[in-house]
Chain A
């Protein structure tokens, strides 16, 4: 297991390094001069040159790449081109919005999907199953931002229960802040839940056919007990795997959902940075998001060890999950 995780950690490090290299190279070939962007086209040539030098743009690319990656690892990020503050200072208040949003959406998705998936599997072929699977088909087909618009129409415009968008900030108290995040959370969570419910159902169905389930029943456990004690744990591995793979979609989803609800989160920061051609912010955020996805999938690998004792005892495990 330790070997397996060490290999995974190495792969993660290499992937992230490659990702940072790709992002850096892509932005390096971009036309456009950051100094010109900041000072405007009317700037004098010597002023431009001075700014370029102070930003380190006159140094060779590999030096700037190493500086950048070193900065990323030590938390010393460069200054935003538009706001002239460190990217980290821009990022922190945004994370306070996006972080809770993503976590709440993930929690809600799992809380809905796992019970529904298990229920559908237990009632396979009956009306409950058909209803859950039908809803899940529908959920997969609904774009999350359109769902967001629908929720605004019903709960903000129609019923006036919740705000249509904006964020009062956590300093306004947990109540208003959570109210502002409620509709975005649901819009983000439901399409995820639809996918997870399908995966849970088929994973549980697969488990139900296993010999150890028959053994569990034979030694006198009820159907529900057997499912709970032996079935669910085994079924969770594919569910957790898909959760990890879906996480990157969840993060990408926050980009679009934050735009629907005009939330001041990381996703909107990226969209705004592109609009302002603030490439320092774009490159840092893209790599940080890719890193988050990589780390989450590494955690998923770790969780296999918790879920499946066989993996702890040195099995290499399948790599093509």
Chain B
């Protein structure tokens, strides 16, 4: 639904938007990694005398209501946002992709069962799932991961099934079947490599969605808890000081927007390059 069907003019490279997206994604990853070993200040050390300071030489982006350095917090926040999103999407794909492959390989009642499970899962939006999970286990980053992962399983199952069904009709699959290979082997050796592009594209977009979801959960107080820092939590805490220091609400939001925008642009550009459904079928692999 993101891709206008007319874009058949497949580029060789990623295009400017795609490169911008790739650069943003890399920069956020690098920042998150850097925050593991270095931030300008300790992001959780409070210095009440320094509270709500504007940007200065020591605090390039100012401080919050506890005097914590905003730049350091943004860096540490990137780490939580990225980690939660990547793990959640990874878990979702790890369960959803095999389900989709299975549904496409076996058809029949297995297919029907997987698709009905999908319908059920789609009836619960991610925030509702998270609400249930936090009611069950209490709020926290791990439970946010669980909620976002649960939401991702049906997405990946559906995308995988759709793409895999297309591959199963291809001659080289018939050949493999004639050669006596089992459905599981064919799924792993021939179907999966051919839908890899589609899955990477979907994965990029899902990570972007996961970042938004994590931010939303943390904003509601259902995601990562203090003293952990995430962009959503920063926004939650900034709201009290919206009049005094609008900067505190603007910066984490900008970080989210730029990251999500970058991932979406990268996803679109990758789809132009990798998605076999959009152009000529790839006969390699």
Whether, in the assembled complex, B148 has its beta carbon less than 8 Å from a beta carbon of chain A, the answer is: no
Whether, in the assembled complex, A76 has its beta carbon less than 8 Å from a beta carbon of chain B, the answer is: no
Closest to A191 in B: B212
Q: Are A146 and B162 in contact (CB under 8 A)?
A: no
Partner of B6, one of A14, A124, A150: A124
Whether, in the assembled complex, B182 has its beta carbon less than 8 Å from a beta carbon of chain A, the answer is: no
Residues of A within 8 A of B78 (CB): none
Known: A282-B131, A293-B125. A206 touches B220 (CB 8 A): no
Assembly CA distance A274 to B239 (angstroms): 21
Partner of B122, one of A141, A248, A271: A248
Q: Are B6 and A277 in contact (CB under 8 A)?
A: no
Question: Nearest Cβ distance between residue A5 and chain B, in whole angstroms?
Answer: 16
Q: Are B128 and A289 in contact (CB under 8 A)?
A: yes
Residues of A within 8 A of B250 (CB): 150
Residues of A within 8 A of B216 (CB): 143, 145, 256
Question: Nearest Cβ distance between residue B248 and chain A, in whole angstroms?
Answer: 10
Interface range for B: 35 or more
Q: Are B235 and A274 in contact (CB under 8 A)?
A: no
Residues of A within 8 A of B261 (CB): 137-138, 141
Closest to B1 in A: A199
Q: Are B257 and A141 in contact (CB under 8 A)?
A: yes
Interface size in chain A (residues, C-beta < 8 A): 58
Could you say which of B25-33, B64-72, B132-140, B192-200 contacts chain A? B132-140
Closest to B130 in A: A252
Residues of B within 8 A of A195 (CB): 1
Whether, in the assembled complex, A98 has its beta carbon less than 8 Å from a beta carbon of chain B, the answer is: no
- Tell me what chain B mostly uses at the interface: helix, strand, loop, or mixed: helix
Whether, in the assembled complex, A270 has its beta carbon less than 8 Å from a beta carbon of chain B, the answer is: yes
Residues of B within 8 A of A249 (CB): 125
Question: Nearest Cβ distance between residue B147 and chain A, in whole angstroms?
Answer: 11
Question: Nearest Cβ distance between residue B163 and chain A, in whole angstroms?
Answer: 12
Interface string of B230-262 (1 = CB under 8 A from A): 000001001100110010011001001110110
Assembly CA distance A153 to B2 (angstroms): 31
Question: Nearest Cβ distance between residue B256 and chain A, in whole angstroms?
Answer: 6
Closest to A255 in B: B127
Interface string of B1-21 (1 = CB under 8 A from A): 111111000000000000000
Assembly CA distance A164 to B116 (angstroms): 43
Q: Are B127 and A256 in contact (CB under 8 A)?
A: yes
Closest to A282 in B: B135
Closest to A293 in B: B123
Could you say which of A17-25, A60-68, A171-179 contacts chain B? A17-25
Whether, in the assembled complex, B210 has its beta carbon less than 8 Å from a beta carbon of chain A, the answer is: no
Assembly CA distance A18 to B242 (angstroms): 43
Q: Are B264 and A146 in contact (CB under 8 A)?
A: no
Question: Nearest Cβ distance between residue A194 and chain B, in whole angstroms?
Answer: 11
Interface string of A8-28 (1 = CB under 8 A from B): 000100111011001100110
Residues of A within 8 A of B4 (CB): 201-202, 205
Interface string of B23-43 (1 = CB under 8 A from A): 000000000000000000000
Known: A141-B208, A282-B135, A286-B131. A256 touches B219 (CB 8 A): yes
Assembly CA distance A152 to B219 (angstroms): 16
Residues of A within 8 A of B134 (CB): 274
Interface string of B252-285 (1 = CB under 8 A from A): 0100111011001100000000000000000000
Question: Nearest Cβ distance between residue B267 and chain A, in whole angstroms?
Answer: 11
Known: A146-B253, A149-B249, A256-B216. A30 touches B125 (CB 8 A): no
Residues of B within 8 A of A (CB): 1-6, 116, 119-120, 122-128, 131-132, 134-136, 158, 162, 208, 212, 215-216, 219-220, 222, 235, 238-239, 242-243, 246, 249-250, 253, 256-258, 260-261, 264-265
Q: Can you list 7 residue pairs at the A/B interface with Cβ under 8 Å?
A: A22-B120, A143-B256, A198-B2, A199-B1, A255-B127, A286-B131, A286-B132
Known contacts A141-B260, A153-B246, A199-B1; 16 additional CB pairs below 8 A are A11-B116, A15-B116, A15-B123, A26-B132, A29-B136, A30-B136, A141-B264, A150-B253, A202-B3, A238-B1, A242-B1, A248-B123, A248-B125, A252-B126, A260-B239, A282-B132
